[in-house]
């Protein structure tokens, strides 16, 4: 039986989620990923984790579907004997000014970025309660703190994640479970590289350090929050943004 901590990362097949999964594995965790897309997309992540001599597991699914979430969590917890770390990273954005925003664009972002976090927290925290230890880290955004033009849906969802994080921290602290969030600014990923040039330029101009962040900047912060070094930190929202929020 492995004595490593057991982590589950949603949206773990690429971008920030992949970076987090691989960083946790580097730090000695067994890492499972849950993501939407083709099964082959996660194989490279699992290969990397396995190369670090860590156990892996993956499931393709939809965070919006509570039945899929519950089944995945039950299966993984039974397979590994528990889940110690939960990283809620899965997310989408469908940007549009509010008078052009469709019901579908609103619903998809809220359902993935906020309801998906709720589904996984609801499913995993009972496992952590039984084990007497856990760390939950939710990926929010500085736009959940300040709002952003063209992102009423995304900003609302990410603000909801912040409220959920603080409330859940109160509910599970007595079980030795910490709950925190990171709020990235502009991070270099496949998604942000596809932003319109004027939007990207405006975002870069806001960053005090004068450059976009890297995936590892977020991943290292998340790994810290999951470690014993952060054992007295809970209910916090940590910005990883190079000063973009200021």
Return the exposure string of 211-244: e unless at least 16 CB atoms fall within 10 Å of the residue's CB, then b: ebbebebbbbbbbbbbbeebeeebeebbbbbbeb
How many Cα atoms sit within 13 Å of 93 on the Cβ side? 21
Band of pLDDT at residue 1, cut at 50, 70 and 90: very low
- Beta strands 177-184 and 134-139, pairing class: parallel
Residue of 93, 121, 154, 218 marked catalytic: 154
Band of pLDDT at residue 190, cut at 50, 70 and 90: confident
3-class DSSP assignment, residue 6: strand
pLDDT for 2: 58
pLDDT for 147: 93
Please list, in sequence order, all residues whose beta carbon lies within 8 angstroms of the beta carbon of residue 103, skipping any fewer than 6 positions away. none
**Do residues 231 and 178 make contact, with C-beta atoms less than 8 angstroms apart?**
yes
> What is the average pLDDT value for the chain, to the nearest integer?
95
CA nearest neighbour of 136 among 49, 14, 25, 234: 234
Active site residue 154: yes
- In the predicted structure, residue 125 carries a pLDDT above the cut 90: yes
pLDDT tens readout for residues 219-243: 999 999 999 999 999 999 999 999 9
- Phi and psi, residue 178, nearest 5°: -100, 150
DSSP state letters, 223-235? HHHTSGGGTT--S
Tell me the pTM.
0.95
Q: At what angle do helices 66-80 and 116-131 cross, to 10 degrees?
A: 30
| Domain 6-186+218-239, architecture per CATH | 3-Layer(aba) Sandwich (3.40)
pLDDT for 192: 79
pLDDT for 120: 98
Strand order in the sheet with 6-10: 56-60, 30-35, 6-10, 85-88, 134-139, 177-184, 237-240
d(CA 89, CA 77): 19
DSSP state letters, 99-151? GG--HHHHHHHHIIIIIHHHHHHHHHHHHHHHHT-EEEEEE--THHHH--TTB
Q: What torsion do the CA atoms of 216, 217, 221, 227 make, to the nearest 10 degrees?
A: 30
CA nearest neighbour of 42 among 16, 70, 11, 72: 11
- In the predicted structure, residue 154 carries a pLDDT above the cut 90: yes
Q: What are the domain boundaries of the chain?
A: 6-186+218-239
Residue where the block lists tokens 């993984």: 76
pLDDT tens readout for residues 13-66: 999 999 999 999 999 999 999 999 888 889 999 999 999 999 999 999 999 999
């Amino acid at each position: 039986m492995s004595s490593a901590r057991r982590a589950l990362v949603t949206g773990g097949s690429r971008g920030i989620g992949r970076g987090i999964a691989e960083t946790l594995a580097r730090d000695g965790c067994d890492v499972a990923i849950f993501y939407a897309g083709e099964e082959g997309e996660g194989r490279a992540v699992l290969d990397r984790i396995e190369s670090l001599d860590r156990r892996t597991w993956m499931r393709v699914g939809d965070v919006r579907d509570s039945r899929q979430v519950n089944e995945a969590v039950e299966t993984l917890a039974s397979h590994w004997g528990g889940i110690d770390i939960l990283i809620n990273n899965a997310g989408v954005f469908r940007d549009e000014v509010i008078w052009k925003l469709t019901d579908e664009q609103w619903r998809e972002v809220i359902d993935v970025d906020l309801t998906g976090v709720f589904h996984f927290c609801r499913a995993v925290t009972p496992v952590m309660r039984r084990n007497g230890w856990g760390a939950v880290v939710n990926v929010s955004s500085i736009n959940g703190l300040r709002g952003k033009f063209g992102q009423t849906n995304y900003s609302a969802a990410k603000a909801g994640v912040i409220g959920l994080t603080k409330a859940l921290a109160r509910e599970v602290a007595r079980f030795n479970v910490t709950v925190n969030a990171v709020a990235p600014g502009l991070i270099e990923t496949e998604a942000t590289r596809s932003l319109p040039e004027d939007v990207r330029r405006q975002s870069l101009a806001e960053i005090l350090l004068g450059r976009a962040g890297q995936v590892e900047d977020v991943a290292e912060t998340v790994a810290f929050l999951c470690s014993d070094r952060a054992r007295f930190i809970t209910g916090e929202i940590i910005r990883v943004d190079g000063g973009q929020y200021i």
